[in-house]
Amino acid sequence: MATPLVSIFTKTLVKAGRQGLPVGELQQHLAIPASTLSHHLSSLISVSLVRRERQGRTLFCHACYDNLAALIAFLTEECCADEYAPPGFYVTTGEKNDC
């Protein structure tokens, strides 16, 4: 999630649920130009974090929940992997972790 906009973009789609959001509604919600939306959408689609689906004349964007969960799991596992932390430090999952 290289930019704050990409994080907001992804968060908006996650909050929308499995039905996703029409591209136009997503653009209005984020208040960004269509070209900016298209650029970020293409980036997220290329790494399989978002998918597009045409329903009639409307193009919907959906979060790819399984892939987002895998990314979060990877980041959680790697969190502070090379940094010393006090023994018994807990991450937000409640599982014991040394970072």
Q: What is the pLDDT of residues 2-59, one digit of tens each?
A: 567 778 888 899 999 999 999 999 999 989 999 999 998 999 999 999 999 999 999 9
Strand extents, DSSP E, the chain: 21-22, 50-55, 58-63
Name the DSSP class of 21: E
How far, in Å, CA of 94 to CA of 80, rounded? 16
The CATH number of the domain covering residues in 4-63: 1.10.10.10
Please, what is the average pLDDT of the chain? 84
Domain residue ranges of the chain, discontinuous segments joined by + = 4-63, 68-99
Does residue 1 register a pLDDT over 60? no
User: Which pLDDT value is given to residue 60?
Assistant: 97
If pLDDT is split at 50, 70 and 90, which confidence band does 92 have? low
Query: Contact, 11 vs 63, CB < 8 A?
Result: no
